[in-house]
């Protein structure tokens, strides 16, 4: 008669083996009846498992790329041990809006992400890596165009894993890319044949694991898409269990109407809805945050599956040219620059900007040139303006702010980036307290570049630690357990990442170990390229990518497909 081993650790490992949890040939080795040797042991931490449950003291045992057991295992042996004494052990954080699809191909270490505890990213907001043809390639820089050797999502994931990435990546398929592929970015409604073709492209991407359809409705060409077109495309994603993610058509004066549009698309298509970086821009709109949240919650009450994400800052960041009306940007950069050469067009745009900034001129609004800071330029002749407010530069040069903006866009060929200070802290808090709001960095993985004139949004380096530091530890807007749930189980469930987001035997070993007393962001708007601190260890698919606060150089990340382990 065979006597079953009594050790909880052994029983847990055997369970994991039977479930296919020990993927590596050497995982949990050892003779039957003897204590196994695990691949990795995370020892002695305060476990916050991602479910929102209270923390408990424990260890995490890892076999290959999977969690073998979570609990107290004082006698467990492992080939590698990470000390978590005095630390929190949590599932790896999931960035719901990443923008790293190409930056990881340039440098797979994902320094700005890993040092925040991010182990997985979802991308594909404005554009996406699929579909691919000459139309979509035209908008890429030459180096990224050369890197694009794939024709479908499977091909992108193969290239990502071949080049090596420290984090996992999943993606939506973007309406902007669909329109570029099929319509060349034309600012009109698609013909029935064009819409059918776009629906087929969505189906192709969904079959290969895309999360759904995304539409960034302030950026051409997606800004030309009607509610009916978006509903039709989202409906295709819904047949595969996918969703509809959106940068709302307006985050300011028409915020509530835009929220209603997103809800309507979800309700009519059957797709779940993810509202990216939910906020109210402009102080005259700050009072709309509560009503926007209420409308979403009423929709949820009638079983429309709507959630959102946010970043914990009162400023946004995007291209300076986005303050211009859609028709100016339609057709791409060449069309934009050609229009800006026409005196009649410039007169029209001056009038448009003056009307938009009327309250600013009266000293009563936060969306005028005084709220716009130049973040980055391509033309070296303009570098002296980086980090400065548009209003200050205009005053110094003795020109109207409207003329300065148009001149900057034209001279920098539409590539100027800017930071827009337009939200309220109270609004950020109100959104953050909702249990259905996850977190998105809205910036690609990068590394600090000393001496660079570029000043990206500090969210690039600080988003997740900022919440843990300022909103959990200092201001107590969230509990630690709730913050971790928003970072992990909530986004994993939203996009269908089976096997991730919770610390549980049999799931993937994406882990983060951090010091709850010291974890914090250091990136500021003036000095944004500052790494966060307090992350002790980060593990991706069972492999440490950050050990004792130092990058290991390992690149164990993978492509993420919706609903597949």
Under the banding of pLDDT at 50, 70 and 90, the label for residue 257 is: very high
Is it the case that residue 20 has pLDDT exceeding 60? no
Residue 24: per-residue pLDDT: 38
Three-state DSSP state, 520: strand
Residue 363: per-residue pLDDT: 60
Rounded to an integer, the average pLDDT of 53-77 is: 97
Query: CA-CA distance, 290 to 509, in Å (whole number)?
Result: 38
Rounded to an integer, the average pLDDT of 227-243 is: 98
Under the banding of pLDDT at 50, 70 and 90, the label for residue 23 is: very low
Rounded to an integer, the average pLDDT of 533-556 is: 98
Query: CA-CA distance, 519 to 535, in Å (whole number)?
Result: 7
Is it the case that residue 259 has pLDDT exceeding 80? yes
Is it the case that residue 12 has pLDDT exceeding 50? no
Is it the case that residue 10 has pLDDT exceeding 70? no
pLDDT in tens, 120-160: 999 999 999 999 999 999 989 999 999 999 999 999 999 99
Residue 171: per-residue pLDDT: 98
* CB 515, CB 490: distance < 8 Å: no
Percent of the chain predicted with pLDDT > 90: 87
Say yes or no: domain 93-318+423-498 is CATH 3.20.20.140.
Answer: yes
Distances (CA, A) of 8 to 5, 11, 59, 63, 74: 8, 5, 12, 15, 11
Percent of the chain predicted with pLDDT > 70: 93
Q: Regarding predicted confidence, which is higher, 556 or 355?
A: 556
Rounded to an integer, the average pLDDT of 330-355 is: 92
pLDDT in tens, 407-416: 999 999 999 9
Q: Which residues contact 52 (CB under 8 A, 6 or more apart)?
A: 481, 482, 484, 485, 489
Is it the case that residue 1 has pLDDT exceeding 50? no
* CB 64, CB 405: distance < 8 Å: no
Three-state DSSP state, 409: helix
Is it the case that residue 251 has pLDDT exceeding 50? yes
Query: CA-CA distance, 421 to 371, in Å (whole number)?
Result: 5
Q: Secondary structure of the chain: what % helix, strand, coil (to 5)?
A: 40, 20, 40
Is it the case that residue 16 has pLDDT exceeding 50? no
Strands 550-551 and 93-95: unpaired
Is it the case that residue 425 has pLDDT exceeding 80? yes
pLDDT in tens, 488-533: 999 999 999 989 999 999 999 999 999 999 999 999 999 999 999 9
Q: Regarding predicted confidence, which is higher, 294 or 329?
A: 294
Is it the case that residue 317 has pLDDT exceeding 50? yes
Under the banding of pLDDT at 50, 70 and 90, the label for residue 25 is: very low
Under the banding of pLDDT at 50, 70 and 90, the label for residue 29 is: low
Radius of gyration of the chain (CA): 24
Helix axes 343-356, 401-411, angle to 10 degrees: 130
Report the largest interatomic distance among the alpha carbons of the chain, rounded to a whole angstrom: 93
pLDDT in tens, 433-472: 999 999 999 999 999 998 888 899 999 999 999 999 999 9
Q: Return the C-alpha torsion angle 264, 268, 272, 274, nearest 10.
A: -30
Residue 36: per-residue pLDDT: 86
Is it the case that residue 19 has pLDDT exceeding 50? no
Please state the domain extents for the chain: 93-318+423-498, 330-419
* CB 501, CB 91: distance < 8 Å: yes
- Provide the mean pLDDT of the chain: 92
Is it the case that residue 13 has pLDDT exceeding 60? no
Is it the case that residue 564 has pLDDT exceeding 50? yes
Query: CA-CA distance, 454 to 461, in Å (whole number)?
Result: 14
Under the banding of pLDDT at 50, 70 and 90, the label for residue 484 is: very high
* Per-residue tokens: 240: 């595969």
Is it the case that residue 4 has pLDDT exceeding 80? no
């Amino acid at each position: 008669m065979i006597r079953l081993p009594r050790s909880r650790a052994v029983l847990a490992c055997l369970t994991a083996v039977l479930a296919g949890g020990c993927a590596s040939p050497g995982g949990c080795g050892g003779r039957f009846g003897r204590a196994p040797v695990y691949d990795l042991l995370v020892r002695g931490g305060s476990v916050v498992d991602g479910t929102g449950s209270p923390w408990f003291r424990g260890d995490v045992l890892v076999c290959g790329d999977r969690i073998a057991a979570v609990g107290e295992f004082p006698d467990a042996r492992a080939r590698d041990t990470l000390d978590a004494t005095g630390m929190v052990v949590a599932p790896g954080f999931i960035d719901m809006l990443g923008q790293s699809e190409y930056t990881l191909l340039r440098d797979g270490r994902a320094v700005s992400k890993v040092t925040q505890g991010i182990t997985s990213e979802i991308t594909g907001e404005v554009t996406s890596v699929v579909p691919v043809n000459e139309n979509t390639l035209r908008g890429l820089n030459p180096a990224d165009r050369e890197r694009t050797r794939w024709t479908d999502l499977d091909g992108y994931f193969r290239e990502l894993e071949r080049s090596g990435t420290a984090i996992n990546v999943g993606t939506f398929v973007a309406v902007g890319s669909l329109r570029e592929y099929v319509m060349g970015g034309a600012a009109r409604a698609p013909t029935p044949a064009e819409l059918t073709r776009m629906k087929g492209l969505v189906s192709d991407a969904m079959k290969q694991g895309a999360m759904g359809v995304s539409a960034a409705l302030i950026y051409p060409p997606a800004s030309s898409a009607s509610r009916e077109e978006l509903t039709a495309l989202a409906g295709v994603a819904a047949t595969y269990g996918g969703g509809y993610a959106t940068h709302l058509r307006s985050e300011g004066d028409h915020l509530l109407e835009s929220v209603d549009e997103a809800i309507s698309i979800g309700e009519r298509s059957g797709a779940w809805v993810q509202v990216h970086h939910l906020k109210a821009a402009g102080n005259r709109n700050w009072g709309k945050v509560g009503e926007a949240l209420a409308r979403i919650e009423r929709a949820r009450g009638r079983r429309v599956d709507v959630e959102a994400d946010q970043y914990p800052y009162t400023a946004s960041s995007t291209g300076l040219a986005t303050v211009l009306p859609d028709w100016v940007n339609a057709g791409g950069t060449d069309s934009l620059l050609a229009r800006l050469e026409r005196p009649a067009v410039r007169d029209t745009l001056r009038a448009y900007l003056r009307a938009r900034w009327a309250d600013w001129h009266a000293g009563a609004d936060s969306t005028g040139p005084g709220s716009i800071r130049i973040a980055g330029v391509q033309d070296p002749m303009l570098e002296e303006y980086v980090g400065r407010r548009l209003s200050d530069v205009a005053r110094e040069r003795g020109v109207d702010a409207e003329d300065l903006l148009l001149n900057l866009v034209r001279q920098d060929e539409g590539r100027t980036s800017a930071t827009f200070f337009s939200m309220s802290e109270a609004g950020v808090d109100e959104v953050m307290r909702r249990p259905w709001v996850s977190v998105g960095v809205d910036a690609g993985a990068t590394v600090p570049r000393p001496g660079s004139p570029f000043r990206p949004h500090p969210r690039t380096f600080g988003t997740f630690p900022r919440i843990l530091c300022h909103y959990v530890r200092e201001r107590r807007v969230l509990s630690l357990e709730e913050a971790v749930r928003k970072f992990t189980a909530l986004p994993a469930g939203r996009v269908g990442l089976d096997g991730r987001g919770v610390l549980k035997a049999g799931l993937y070993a994406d882990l983060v170990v951090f010091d709850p007393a010291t974890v914090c962001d250091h990136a500021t708007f003036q000095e944004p390229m500052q790494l966060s601190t307090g992350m002790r260890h980060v593990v991706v698919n069972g492999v440490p990518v950050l050990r004792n606060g130092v990058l290991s150089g390992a690149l164990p990340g993978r492509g993420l497909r919706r609903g597949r382990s």
